Structure 1
Amino acid sequence: MNIRLPKRRGEVIKAFAVTLVAILIMFIILFPVYYIFTVSIKPVSTLATTELTLIPKNITAEAYKEVLFGFEGSKISANFTGKIEGNGKLDGNILYVTNGRIIGTVKAGPFTALRFEIPFKEVKFRVGQSGSKEGPFNGEISGAFRLTRINKDGSIGFAVVKNVKLENGRINGITVSGTMEKYIVARNTGAVEITAVGKFVNSVFFGHLKNSLFIAGFTVILTLFFVIPAAYAFSRLKFFGREHVLYFYLMFTQVAGGLGIAGLIALYGMIVKLGLYDKLPVLSLIYAAGSVPFNTWLLKGYIDSISPDFDEAALVDGASYLQIIRYVLLPMALPGIATVAIFAFIGGWTEFILANLLLTEANQPLSVWIYLLMGGIGRGIDWNYFAAAALLFALPVFIMFMLAQNYVRSGLTVGGLKE
């Protein structure tokens, strides 16, 4: 026992040292993420400071609330219903309404998204009947409301009310209906209130999130559609050049990627000539095409580890190659397929160069939106806002990887084994 103790003590010390090194490395890797998180929950923060606070004193979620439901930078253009009040004067078939206000409501499905109130000096309606009346006026209206700016005090910065139809307007016992001849422009006046539903529907973040989910999700579908049969063919079928075609294609795509700007110019020219500019499915197709060689090689390595005896048994039972892929290969190669899906999703989710080049602002994904936020560096960028947006952008990839980590681990390791 006395002879073995030093060896035992040495193993404990070695394990302890290795653990400390692992903790240190993990701390270095995760510290930037933690620092960004602390910035996102501070009331006021700036990167240009010598102060390093590991635990913020005042914690707030205002930055996340502003990212998720902030109105700044977005526009609302929707139909509304409401009422109009003021002093009315019916002269022939023209109704004049003066010194009044319009109170309107914008719906998002069955829920109220926005309420607004706009004062006005005079509006004119062309009504269906003629007469001569004057007195207090009120009525029900509907029309189109476009809001582009809100002031900090809750008043309307800029808005337009147009295509207004008067329904059940009443003036001294007479009911009139008609159409407003001109539109109303509201500048720094009135009041507007956006409900929680309205902030969700019109959020800049959720608009770009929808684009990102479509691009990344469609990229995964296209990638799996091409990669699964290709990987099976390279792994199981015998044809001329099988041993070299995939590796040549893989190396060619990597070398071609070095062309950089020249390749982007050529791609942009082709997309515009074909009339495919600003099309989200086209971007997914480009991403999938770029990821097919590597993912085919990756999935082929995993399929190689599956015994061909299963394929032969299915063939003896009369199965076709498509049935083998569907009923034999897919269940057994699920870890490898999950790994390919994760890589394809991350590629479609994080890429921003092509997305910035081939999409307009309305269709841009989160990656481009966050990148454009950096344009404010040196000009008063809101670091709380940027930090919260960056963490929310990374959250879906983190959740997906955590849920599929067992598949990814086995897909990357088993694929390198041979019988």
Structure 2
Amino acid sequence: MMGRRKGEVIKTFTLTLIAIFVMFIILFPVYYIFTVSITPGSTLATTEFHLIPRNVSLDSYREVLFGFSGSKLSENFTGTIEGSAHVQDGKLYLVDGTLKGKVKYGPFTGLTFEIPVKGLTFDVSTAQNAQGRLEGEVSGLFVLTRVNEDGSIGFAIVRDVKLKSGEVEGVKVSGQMEKYVVARNTGTVSFTNIGKFVNSKFFGYLKNSLIIATLTVLLALLFVVPAAYAFSRMKFFGRDHVLYFYLMFTQVAGGLGIAGLIALYGMVVKLGLYDKLPVLSFIYAAGSVPFNTWLLKGYIDSISPDFDEAALVDGASYLQIIRHVLLPMALPGIATVAIFAFIGGWTEFILASLLLTEPNQPLSVWIYLLLGGIGRGIDWSYFAAAALLFALPVFLMFMLAQNYIRSGLTVGGLKE
């Protein structure tokens, strides 16, 4: 008896070690990418590897979420201008001064900047001449394309500047600035947390991905659930062959590859639907309907039709049966369909890069473009952080779907 128990303990221990080893092999790439993301200046292809990384930092995640890495900012600002100036013949000449501005998003300040300026000219509405110190309030457009690591402005343009109210030695002045101001490796710019959030590339692309994936799930369920119910419960001519033909046809169409993409691109452009996020969701949902219909039909087949018959006797319509009988009992299958539809809409990037312009592209395209073609010269810590953040919603989708699956399984079935 003792020998048998000892053998079971050894067997259980051995199987547990094997399971742990297999899980380690499966999850090791994820752990490796995570170590790269928290190691500043890390490289992806190297012979040196530390299971416990040194010099751990979350700077890459902060840069992905709230960084300003070359994206263009073009916003209206308000601020002040001051410095030595003189007014002569309806012109205000700023010899040397400082322009300070503030960009607001609603009631919140997004960023502030300060730029040294000189040699500026304003057309002002006064005939008086004066010389001295200028102090005034201004507004205009601030265009920022690069910020240096030390917080100075890499490159920016300030244009359409209006001097709303100013004074030079008691002379009131107001007017429009001639030309524009170019700031290159000078001045300072500071983003608030609100400004970092609004101007982050990540959140802009994240919004596009969420719109595409959410619409894909809703459209897929809208078509798949009634179709699966019809194929499972209703009898009509060719029912046993239509779905299989549908599946085969979509596989053949998918095999056309680049020819299919060109045809799809041509149709979308001809219909005037290029660069429309909902159109991409319709395409994704349409592509997922055959397989998901077949998948959900198999699950509905396992639910006894006695429930449907009982609802029909009580006077329920087919839509009421789907809503009040099928949906609660088929939650595991529906959750699986939702997961597949979400992943398809979230991860696809070929059609997204073909049918959308850069402002409307999703995260999948942005992350691919981070590689820069062959991936050389890239900040791998930044890329790894972006990749893990991109995968996070898929993980959350699985976690949320598990709750639905668990609740669906507790509904119970018909007891014979």
Matched, 1:181 2:178: yes
Matched, 1:36 2:33: yes
User: What is the TM-score normalised by the length of structure 1?
Assistant: 0.92
Distance 1:26 1:53 in 2: 19
Query: CA deviation digits over 1:324-357, x for unaligned, max 9?
Result: 2222222222222221111111111111111111
Structure 2 SS opposite 1:375: coil
- Of 326-335 and 374-383, more deviation after overlay is shown by 374-383
Q: CA 1:104 to 1:402, structure 2 compared with 1: closer, same or farther past 3 Å? A: same
**How many angstroms does 1:405 deviate by?**
2.2
Matched, 1:66 2:75: no
2:359 aligned residue: 362
Instruction: Map residues 136-155 of structure 1 onto 2, 5 A cutoff.
Output: 136-155=133-152
Match 1:23 to one of 16, 20, 24: 20
Match 2:369 to one of 369, 372, 387: 372
**How many angstroms does 1:214 deviate by?**
0.8
Unaligned runs of 5+ in 1: none
Structure 1 SS opposite 2:119: strand
- Percent identical residues: 75
Amino acid aligned to 1:293:
P
Amino acid aligned to 1:16:
F
Instruction: Map residues 270-309 of structure 1 onto 2, 5 A cutoff.
Output: 270-309=267-306
2:222 aligned residue: 225
- Of 115-124 and 349-358, more deviation after overlay is shown by 115-124
1:200 aligned residue: 197
Residues 336, 407 of structure 1: 8 Å contact kept: no
Amino acid aligned to 1:183:
Y
Distance 1:57 1:182 in 2: 51
Distance 1:380 1:132 in 2: 57
**How many angstroms does 1:409 deviate by?**
7.5
Distance 2:284 2:408 in 1: 22
Distance 2:315 2:352 in 1: 46
Query: CA deviation digits over 1:182-241, x for unaligned, max 9?
Result: 222222222111222211111111111111111111111111111111111111221111
Structure 2 SS opposite 1:343: helix
Query: CA deviation digits over 1:344-395, x for unaligned, max 9?
Result: 1111111111111111222111111111122264632211111111111111
Structure 1 SS opposite 2:88: strand
**How many angstroms does 1:6 deviate by?**
4.7
Instruction: Map residues 13-412 of structure 1 onto 2, 5 A cutoff.
Output: 13-375=10-372, 377=374, 379-408=376-405
Unaligned runs of 5+ in 2: none
- Of 349-358 and 312-321, more deviation after overlay is shown by 312-321
Amino acid aligned to 2:229:
Y
Distance 2:264 2:23 in 1: 40
**How many angstroms does 1:123 deviate by?**
2.0
**How many angstroms does 1:307 deviate by?**
2.2
Aligned pair count reads 413
Q: CA 1:309 to 1:140, structure 2 compared with 1: closer, same or farther past 3 Å? A: same
Structure 2 SS opposite 1:270: helix
Distance 2:367 2:311 in 1: 50
Distance 2:408 2:347 in 1: 22
Structure 2 SS opposite 1:130: coil
